[in-house]
A = this chain, B = another copy of it.
Amino acid sequence: MLSQTVEYALRAVIFLASVSPDAQTTSEIGRATQVPLAYLSKVLQGLRQEGILKSQRGVGGGISLVRTPQELTILDVVNAVEPLGRITTCPLGLAAHGEHLCPLHRRMDDAIQVMEEAFHSTTLAEVLADPNPSIPLTNIGAPLCGVPATSQKKKK
């Protein structure tokens, strides 16, 4: 449904949003998000090329958000990694249909659209602010489950 890469990308940007506007190294992001490090670097590279993230090489460098968490929606991230694939033209290739879809494809696109709207209506800041108060278990309520919320250790 949603690809593994989308899952990884969202974990990464949520974590980055939680420390925004600070930069984090790929290793730090990997540790926090539990994403395989070698693959994470590819995902982050893609997000940078799409203008979601920016990077700084060298000592003290790392990855950070281009926009603020208030300005960045879940949809922005999803579309940067793998566009949702709205159905805009007839998949059967009937050019005569133009922008008008048959009843089947209209409903398929409608379903994709409601998902798109759900993603568009939520910013990273809103995810972070969600207290999720009704849940009593350990570590629940963190924007990204299992992530040590805004770990503030600066060694050296």
| Chain A residues within 8 Å of B, Cβ to Cβ | 1-2, 7, 10-11, 14, 34, 74, 84-85, 90-94, 96-98, 100-108, 110-112, 114-115, 118-119, 122, 127-128, 130, 132, 135, 137-146
Q: Kindly identify which residue among B74, B92, B98, B110 contacts A146, using a CB–CB cutoff of 8 Å.
A: B92
- Report which residue of A1, A7, A100, A118 has the largest number of chain B beta carbons within 10 angstroms of its beta carbon: A1
Complex Cα–Cα for A98 and B137 (A): 9
Chain B residues in 8 Å Cβ range of A145: 90, 92, 94, 97, 101-102, 104-105
Q: Are A143 and B7 touching (Cβ within 8 A)? A: no
> In the complex, A74→B119 CA distance in Å?
22
List, sorted by A's number, 29 A–B pairs whose CB atoms are closer than 8 Å. Answer: A1-B112, A7-B91, A14-B104, A34-B92, A34-B93, A74-B107, A74-B108, A90-B145, A90-B146, A94-B139, A94-B145, A97-B140, A98-B137, A101-B145, A102-B141, A103-B127, A103-B130, A103-B143, A104-B127, A104-B143, A104-B144, A104-B145, A106-B130, A107-B122, A111-B115, A111-B118, A112-B115, A114-B115, A115-B115
Contact of A10 among B104, B135, B141 (CB under 8 A): B104
Residues of B within 8 A of A1 (CB): 84-85, 112
